[in-house]
Structure 1
């Protein structure tokens, strides 16, 4: 059989074919939504609404009532949600049995030949969700990463059983295809910054396990300028959406402007000077706190400069930084400026 596609790219043709396959599996009156950047299509009830801030978030939230996603806020709880997590399917399914939920359970299942888990849980008062919020959904294995389709129903909202049916039908309509790769905007590049995330930790007792998050920064010719931009992104801390997904950091908007200088020296030394963070970050001097903070800083630095030996200071004083975190001072503390 020959298929002739004129006027569109092969990637666009694959999206159309995947969307057509999803449409064929839809209940009457449903629509299909395709996210080209994430590489999936999913069905949803025709009278429902969807909204997003960025193209990468397309087809991730649906609700029978109109809603908005406000900049700088967490995505609202909607009756049909889609997310892609960096962790494995079984790990994500296990989230719904931790201390934040009661009556949490999950079991293996298969959807259109793809392995995964079906889960159900009720939030208690130990997490960010209102106590009594009911969750139901599926976690599918997509190449080692978790693809989640779920409903979240607050305690004051009725219709939980009908929303479960919507999820069952929506997950049956899911089709995957190769994501459309976009190029970085002109004059910008991607860097990685690192935060902790208890949900993703392989070792729950580890204080130094950190996980990458992408940031876009201007393109510089100088490595010092690029590292400066990456560290400033790190010092802003996780976004609201990232915090909702479990990412944690000592850094936040309070520390966003605390970087004073970066200097790359011979033999791998990298001098990094901050304003006095001790007045902005409390309790970082504990053994676990200092390990977590240093892991985020050093891993971010070495992501750009793999052989770097960072030397940190507060207001130019390496001893002040070491005393703050109850660490042994470095043997050498070169000035941050020539």
Structure 2
């Protein structure tokens, strides 16, 4: 009906960029008139690969990964690829199971969060026979390609910002049970910056066990982190180190909780206590004073990961397997101890 060969019709449907606009329009018109829908099972048998991209993340409850997935879905939308999504709940055994299951369906590419896969998971991905893109972190030894940023550098950068703003007793806060390699990298950067400045004190490292809605402490890494988790942790930190003058939080919900507790205790922010978060997420918008945070390129990571997978699928040389998208400090009033920013009023609805 389109007056072309079957292979040309296939190219127009599956890789439209390689055919002329006129031919593509003829083929798509024929598709519409015929009501054609591809048989994915037959396609997999014929080509040895489906048009599915397997994407594995550790949580769907955290907005961090929903931002990454927005980038992934936006990048695949104009292509013939489709996303097959898996959630590991931060469980290495579940990650191994999902990788094995996805690979049995012969995906066109795999995108996996983190660079700390188990030996079995790494071996399966190395032998996958398709492009593999690790995301959210960096490593000098990626399985294939990696897109992310250095969490050590990010932690160092934020701590250096706090030092430059005049803070000297800078605490670091994280939750027990959430110390993955990315959080550990931020902690390493914090310690490195303080040691270089001669300010490191291990008593400034504070943890708080996960709290359920009923207030009972429990360990469940799949739960959403809320500001509630940080309030008791700040009280603990102030008891252990009453002269603490800033807190670098492992994520933004913790930073919000520290701000709430600081206000409840009558502490002046940023003069008596500086507060910094991590990820620069939408949830901190509207806080007063406004919260400093470390901006991470979450959406861009998802978008670039698909672009890297597509480049590999098209046979482009892998000249730069490590893609560092970097981070930046979003400087706001909660760390403006030196008064460099304009005075701000509370935001009205």
**Which structure dedicates a bigger proportion of its chain to strand?**
1
Higher relative contact order (CA 8 A, sep 6+): 2
Higher helix share: 2
TM-score of the pair, normalised by structure 1: 0.23
